[in-house]
Structure 1
Amino acid sequence: MRALDDLVRSGKVRYIGCSNLQGWQMMKVSGISRQLGLHAFQTAQSYYSLAGRDIERDIIPVLQDQKMGLLVWSPLAGGFLSGKYTRDNQGGADDRRNKFDFPPVDREKGYVLIDVLQEIAKARETSVARIALAWLLNQPAVTSVIVGAKRPDQLRDNLGASGIVLNEEELSRLDQVSRLQPEYPLWNPAVYLEDR
């Protein structure tokens, strides 16, 4: 942290951040930074998508509490939410996701999600990828997304998501099919209901 602090103080970087840390690790670094009078992390780079909402349990609450930004990597879940994959088209034997399934996706739950994404995309006359990215851009904790387009047409399509504002009904439908199951201690009805 001292080395990163030196970079900020010398003007070589404006802000520092972390990538792929757990919430407790971010809080520990925040405490150390505060205790030693060092610059603290201003942002985190984490995996987040409609197919992978795990950071909502621990990381997003830390980011909000510490007023940190969130830069999302793999917002289309390694291409799973690009519109390419369906129950009927899971890619060929040479497909990257069939060779290296990363980030991991619960495919059965994912196909239900893709069905809803396709319905919303069709009604809006746009792509599945744009709707998946627009959902992320509608999340209060998200500062920006890091897209990994391979071709110019994919990049153009991804950039088109920035102009889409999903309505409450669309957000609710996507939330319902992608929502995480409560984990302890949030599955305790008293805590779970209080948190909502």
Structure 2
Amino acid sequence: MVEYRYLGNSGLKVSEITYGNWVTHGSQVGDSAAIATVHAALDAGITTFDTADTYANTAAEVVLGKALAGQRREGLELFTKVYWPIGPKGPNDGGLSRKHILEGINGSLQRLGVDYVDLYQAHRYDYETPLEETMQAFADVVRQGKALYIGVSEWTAEQLRDAAALAKELHVPFVSNQPQYSMLWRVIEAKVVPASQELGLSQVVWSPMAQGVLSGKYLPGQPVPEGSRATDSKSGAHFIERLLREDVLTAVQKLKPIADECGLTMPQLAIAWVLQNPNVASALVGASRPEQVASNVAASGVTLEPAVLTAIDAALGDVVERDGQKTYDVSPKTRP
């Protein structure tokens, strides 16, 4: 069964494995399969679920709401996000303006079928809206009882510090950041993690398996497997393209004997690796089949010895991306 950690400097506990439905619900899998997978997650002890209004242009929230209907609300930690354009994508259908945030939370609650979410997150930083306006709107969402905590996704160290200062003034519980993080993508380690530790924020990390590359199923010199994420534009194929290099795939295959020695599958090793970072509260993992959930949960509570971590670093060598400057390139400078 999955273990739990505190989210930031708060009293909220979340499951070490968070069930995410970015490319699955409303897109990659049908509703009945999605619901079965969510129920498998609940059976495995996962209580934390992450979605966003933009996933499948709001359909993912609807499916997750259906899947969780009838569950004890107090026993769940439900996360969603706001920023990317949704609906007809008019001039105010995206960003972090007061208008979009307040309309966004109402839409998300309706689709999810709940009165509140546990964590409401800014999906990216909005350079076109004053941060003061954004944080005041988030504070009002909390005061209205529509969200219990506030978080962000893919913000830089400086943006986190500025937001934390305003959150303190506004007395709003700002607890987390949701960045990409994996053995292959470690750009948050240079600045974002130290700033977060200083501010009392946790990371809820996405793509701990590097879009599936760390599963080992993509082999050097071989065509990508039929039906894999790399062949499906709706499942984020463009995200994985940059990782399908011969040097990366060759290095990843060196992880298999390490995983075997630990008694883990390669996906389990990848998830366990991100959880070794004490600033990581949870690893966000999706699934398209119930059996994948049980496998993912086996990574919770695993301790990787220092020698194993050293062996992983040696295996991957210089294919690991560590440049902290890349955290400044994630949020669009103008609204999409």
Per the alignment, residue 194 of structure 1 pairs with: none
Per the alignment, residue 294 of structure 2 pairs with: 156
Per the alignment, residue 44 of structure 1 pairs with: 177
Cα deviations across residues 108-140 of structure 1 (Å, max 9, x unaligned)?
453354233201122233310001111111111
- Which residue among 141, 146, 150 is the counterpart of 1:7? 141
How far off is 1:75 after superposition? 1.1
Query: What SS class does the counterpart of residue 254 from structure 2 fall into?
Result: helix
- Relative to structure 1, the CA distance from residue 136 to residue 109 in structure 2 (aligned partners, 3 Å threshold; closer, same or farther) is farther
- Which residue among 253, 262, 266 is the counterpart of 1:115? 253
How many residues are matched? 183
Per the alignment, residue 146 of structure 1 pairs with: 284
Query: What SS class does the counterpart of residue 150 from structure 1 fall into?
Result: coil
Cα deviations across residues 17-57 of structure 1 (Å, max 9, x unaligned)?
001222222122223333x4341521011110111111112
Query: What SS class does the counterpart of residue 20 from structure 1 fall into?
Result: coil
Per the alignment, residue 133 of structure 1 pairs with: 271
Per the alignment, residue 306 of structure 2 pairs with: 168
- Relative to structure 1, the CA distance from residue 41 to residue 110 in structure 2 (aligned partners, 3 Å threshold; closer, same or farther) is farther
Per the alignment, residue 239 of structure 2 pairs with: 102
- Relative to structure 1, the CA distance from residue 37 to residue 163 in structure 2 (aligned partners, 3 Å threshold; closer, same or farther) is closer
Query: What SS class does the counterpart of residue 211 from structure 2 fall into?
Result: coil
- Relative to structure 1, the CA distance from residue 168 to residue 31 in structure 2 (aligned partners, 3 Å threshold; closer, same or farther) is same
Per the alignment, residue 21 of structure 2 pairs with: none
- Using the size of structure 1 for normalisation, the TM-score is 0.80
Contact 1:75 1:146 in 2 (8 A): yes
The unaligned stretches of length 5 or more in structure 1 are: 185-196
Per the alignment, residue 75 of structure 1 pairs with: 208
Distance 1:73 1:183 in 2: 17
- Using the size of structure 2 for normalisation, the TM-score is 0.49
Per the alignment, residue 188 of structure 2 pairs with: 55
- Relative to structure 1, the CA distance from residue 54 to residue 4 in structure 2 (aligned partners, 3 Å threshold; closer, same or farther) is same
Per the alignment, residue 32 of structure 1 pairs with: 166
How far off is 1:79 after superposition? 0.9
Report the identity percentage: 32
Contact 2:274 2:280 in 1 (8 A): yes
Distance 2:165 2:194 in 1: 16
- Relative to structure 1, the CA distance from residue 88 to residue 149 in structure 2 (aligned partners, 3 Å threshold; closer, same or farther) is farther
Cα deviations across residues 150-187 of structure 1 (Å, max 9, x unaligned)?
11122111111114211111011223435556779xxx
* Aligned residue identity for 1:69: S
Contact 1:117 1:128 in 2 (8 A): yes
Question: Aligned Cα RMSD in Å?
Answer: 2.5
Distance 1:88 1:4 in 2: 49
**1:182-193 aligned within 5 A:** none
Distance 1:80 1:168 in 2: 23
Query: What SS class does the counterpart of residue 203 from structure 2 fall into?
Result: strand
Q: Larger relative contact order (C-alpha < 8 A, sep ≥ 6)?
A: 2
How far off is 1:67 after superposition? 1.2
Query: What SS class does the counterpart of residue 166 from structure 1 fall into?
Result: coil
